[in-house]
Structure 1
Amino acid sequence: MAIKIATMIGDNYGSALQAFALQQSIKECGGGSSIVKLRPKSYIIRFAKTYLIPTKYDGVKKKARKAVSDFKNRRKRRKVREFYQKNIVVEIHRTIEELLSNEKSRITFICGSDQIWNPQFQPNQLFYLDFSTKLNIKKYSYAASIAVSSLAKEECEYYKRKLKDFEGVSVREKTGKYLLDELLDKNVRVDVDPVLLLGADKWESMMSARFNGKDYILLYMLRPMPELLSFAKMVAQSRGLKLLYIGEFDYDDADIESCHDAGVEDFLNAIYSARYVITNSFHATVFSTIFKKKFCSYAVSRTGTRVLDFLDDFNLQECRIDDLNRTDYSFNQEIDWDEIFSIINRKKQESLKYIRSIVNQDK
């Protein structure tokens, strides 16, 4: 019986790669899986939710800027969708009821990874398996990210109610474990992001050759940060290197080379081929580590615990940048890659053991 995975699958490189890696790891552990996507039938409703209706975290201006950037990035978004079609098994349903109606007796769900348990996604039926049914449902999470360092009282109550029936609770960051340990009467695991479950050779076999042979600093920003852009330009100028920018939001700047049509395979190659990487993205930070790059990572406000915990866990604190006004920044960190990959491999084996335990009970 195939395990159903409830995770984010959007136009984001990190979402695509973690979804692929989790599905691939389940397969290598002897199980089958499909990623569940709920998509309303109405295109108008989907468009309005994405670009028009403001939320607590995304106001009208940010929604409007996303609409403009998504248009400029339309070729990139098409390539990401093609990556899903080629590499990931996805089942699309209109409603929870439709999802459950096709099953006969028992379903095993894994929620994770990525920021599925970020409070901004409450309430969300799918990410918390918040539905009633006569079916026998086994609930697990894998490396689910809460992504914040503190919770409001009502958010705490939400987690207590929705996660009490999970047979296995696994989060991605130790900060998430700390928060849930205070709320749940069960063991909360910390597991590595799925992309760390696959080796660098696997990712190298999937990447393009688009940026091979080019000499540049890569700036990848998942969230718009003009101050990080200014910092990256200063570093590139001081080193006499070209600055290549890939990101969700557009910047019209003559001093940078903006790439609006990079697919998932190009994203991997952009990190792999870069002289240095500057980023405010969790997954760009992780892939910089996988490819043993010189990099610096900025932890954004509110969701920056993801990056900070990762750097702490793997002794990469020197790759953290806090002061974007520095004019003397260099990438002269002394990184002991043997030690770092020893830690990664140990944590990877512990995480794979957990996945195998889920696969084995599902058979």
Structure 2
Amino acid sequence: MKICTITCQNADNYGARLQCFALAYWLKKEGNEVEVIDYQPDYMREPNLWYIPSSVKELVKLFVRFPERLCSVKRHKIYSEFSKKYIPLTKVYNNINELRNDPPIADIYLAGSDQIWNPTFRNGTDPAYYLDFGPENVQRKSFSASFAVSSIENIQKKLWIKNNLKRFDKITVREQSALKILKEMGYDGELQDDPVFMLSAEEWNRALNLEESWKKLGIKNEKYVLIYDFFLSDEIKSVALEYGKQNNCKIFSVCHKSLSYADKNFVYADPVDFVNLIKHACCVISNSFHGTCFAMIYNVSYVIVNRPDGLNVRMQDLLERKCP
């Protein structure tokens, strides 16, 4: 069986790349031929280091933010190298028209996992993530897809999504809240764990060769709490400092920027390093869904802090299902 999956595989965060890898790995283990559609729309492409400013104000902004942009470009390269090594990608498709004009050959198109249907993001209303391409006789399914919100308030978007789900033969979603959204639209769905849970800790160890990679990080007999913080939160800082003090451990960070209060910052860690740092931590403090998932997989203590962007329903659902 040839299966082509599509997800936000080009997003520059650890969870996006690792869930993409996990699904392809698991499907292949089940005896399928697997490719991940390398969909790179303009809103999810490599960050530009330089651009032509349209005003003096833009020019000043360009120079002020140059170090940050340089960091983003370097991190994107690290993520891309992981994908090239571990993920079986198709050729690059830059937009939905390219997908429609030359779709990959498959028996099944599989949408997911992760926030592919998040209505607050551009991908949430991108026809590609609703499998609007390819021959009609190809089966279309979702795997652990997420809306990432508890409800869709925008009526126009909700109607658009409802109409585009019609082409699916089977829908599985990641959160209980997504089942409610589907029911409001007149669809039946099934719950499905995020793909990272399809692999055991031992399988992750083997698949990513974690023992060998751990040696390269140069961490020897150091007790640490790991911070993975998307928003550089003061609350996480406070919790981390208190935890480190009470448990006599160092603070390591795997955030996109260096944290002044961390003893070590792994700004340029790749997804393999990310898993290793969680595996060997005494505790993970985070506002990340997948950071929490990997702490669960490796039976590491964790503290979850709410996100300011309102995407907390994913963690709430995860805790209800995994820690009843």
TM tier, smaller: 0.7 to 0.9
- 1:27-176 matches, within 5 Å, as 27-39=28-40, 47=47, 68-69=67-68, 71-72=70-71, 74-91=73-90, 92-102=92-102, 107-119=107-119, 120=121, 121-131=123-133, 135-152=136-153, 153-176=155-178
* TM-score calculated relative to the size of structure 2: 0.83
Q: Corresponding residue for 1:226? A: 234
Given that 1:213 and 1:273 are in contact with CA atoms closer than 8 Å, whether structure 2 keeps it comes out as no
Deviation beyond 6 Å, 4+ runs, structure 1: 63-67
Matched ranges for 1:1-363 at <5 A: 2-9=2-9, 10-39=11-40, 47=47, 68-69=67-68, 71-72=70-71, 74-91=73-90, 92-102=92-102, 107-119=107-119, 120=121, 121-131=123-133, 135-152=136-153, 153-185=155-187, 187-205=188-206, 206=208, 207=210, 208-209=213-214, 210=217, 211=219, 213-248=221-256, 250-301=257-308, 302-315=310-323
Change (3 A) 1:215 1:47: closer
Structure 1 CA distance for aligned equivalents of residues 105 and 242 of structure 2:
60
Deviation at 1:123, TM superposition (A): 2.2
Q: 1-side partners of 2:172 and 2:43: how far apart?
A: 34
Please state how far the C-alpha of 1:241 moved relative to its aligned partner: 1.7
Deviations 1:321-346 (A, max 9, x none): xxxxxxxxxxxxxxxxxxxxxxxxxx
* Aligned-residue offset at 1:195: 0.7
> Percent identity among equivalent residues?
28
Q: Is the 8 A contact 1:112 1:142 kept in 2?
A: yes
> Paired residue for 2:58?
none
Q: Which amino acid aligns with 1:155?
A: K
In the aligned structure 2, how far is the partner of 1:278 from the partner of 1:42?
A: 29
Cα distance, 1:158 vs. partner? Answer: 2.1
How much has 1:258 moved relative to structure 2? 1.6
Separation in structure 2 between the aligned mates of residue 227 and residue 198 of structure 1, nearest angstrom: 32
Q: Which residue of 2 aligns with 1:337?
A: none
Are the counterparts in 2 of residues 212 and 269 from structure 1 also a CA contact under 8 Å?
no
For 1:127, what is the secondary structure of its paired residue? helix
SS at 2:139's partner residue?
A: strand
Q: Give SS of 1:99's match.
A: helix
What one-letter code is carried by the residue in structure 2 that aligns with 1:90? L
Higher normalized contact order (CA 8 Å, seq sep 6+, divided by chain length):
1
Q: Which amino acid aligns with 2:319?
A: L
Q: CA deviation at 1:30?
A: 1.6
AA aligned to 1:175 is S
Instruction: Please identify, of 1-10 and 104-113, the stretch whose mean Cα deviation from structure 2 is larger.
Output: 104-113
The residue type paired with residue 112 of structure 1 is G
Q: Note closer, same or farther for the CA distance 1:66–1:274 as it changes in structure 2 (3 Å cut).
A: farther
Secondary structure in 1 matching 2:303: strand
What letter is aligned with 1:14? Answer: G
The amino acid that maps onto 2:172 is S
Cα pair 2:3 2:106 within 8 Å, conserved: no
- Say if 1:7 and 1:113, in contact at 8 Å, map to a contact too: yes
Give the TM-score normalised by the residue count of structure 1: 0.74
Task: Work out the number of aligned pairs and report it.
Answer: 301
Structure 1 residue ranges without an equivalent (≥5): 53-62, 317-363
Query: After alignment, is 171-180 or 211-220 more displaced?
Result: 211-220
SS at match of 1:140: strand
CA distance in 2, matches of 1:284, 1:104: 32
Contact 1:143–1:171, Cα closer than 8 Å, also in 2: yes
How far apart are the structure 2 equivalents of 1:65 and 1:163?
44
Shift of 1:25: 1.2
Contact 2:2 2:106 in 1 (8 A): no
Q: Which is further off, 13-22 or 219-228? A: 219-228
- Unaligned segments of structure 2, at least 5 residues: 53-61
CA distance, structure 2, for counterparts of residue 65 and residue 314 of structure 1 = 44
* Structure 1 counterpart SS, 2:241: helix
